[in-house]
Amino acid sequence: MSQQLEISNRMKRISVDKVVVNIAVGKSGEPLERAKRALQEITGQLPSARGAKKNYRDFGIHKGEPIAAIVTLRREIAQEFLKKIIAAKANTFLASSFDNMGNISVGIHEHIDIPGTKYNPEIGIVGMNVSVALLRPGYRIARKRNKGKVGKNHRITKDDSIAFFQKEYGVVVS
């Protein structure tokens, strides 16, 4: 945690809040079950199914039909998984992967690119989306009973997020 030592104001320290891993297969049944098994094998957590938000007649998808599997990782598990994702992306992220709120989303084309993952013929090869949410102490003020606002100077910007990943994880941003 080199950045935590450099910042004297502890309320300005940035940390990883959560890592969300999503596999969208677009249909329910056996493909969704394979995606769930893949997520459970990769993360060690039990995934949950997510339903379609709208009807898509051309694809035969109905509102509420489960079409994706998702897992949310927090604390040490999230940081260990994030290190694997960074290794799978060859320590390089695109600047366009970062949003203006300091979060990052990357895609993994084949789950077997993640270190420590072996090919399982029952599952096949699946791609996934990985989103990382960063936070500073005091962010929960916006979610409490008497809601407050997170000040403009306390928000995590795109530049703050890029600097965090470069210092903490040695990521090259291009």
Q: Residue 19: name the closest of 97, 72, 84 by CA.
A: 72
Domain annotation for the chain: domains and CATH numbers:
7-22+71-173 (3.30.1440.10)
Query: Which uninterrupted H or E stretch holds 75?
Result: helix 75-88
Residue 61 phi, psi (nearest 5): -105, 130
The predicted pLDDT at position 142 comes to 60
Q: Residue 103: name the closest of 164, 174, 23, 13 by CA.
A: 164
Over residues 35-82, the pLDDT tens digits come to: 888 888 888 889 988 877 778 777 777 787 788 899 999 999 999 999
130 pLDDT tier (thresholds 50, 70, 90): very high
How many C-beta neighbours within 10 Å does residue 54 have? 9
The predicted pLDDT at position 74 comes to 93
The predicted pLDDT at position 2 comes to 45
pTM above 0.75, yes or no: yes
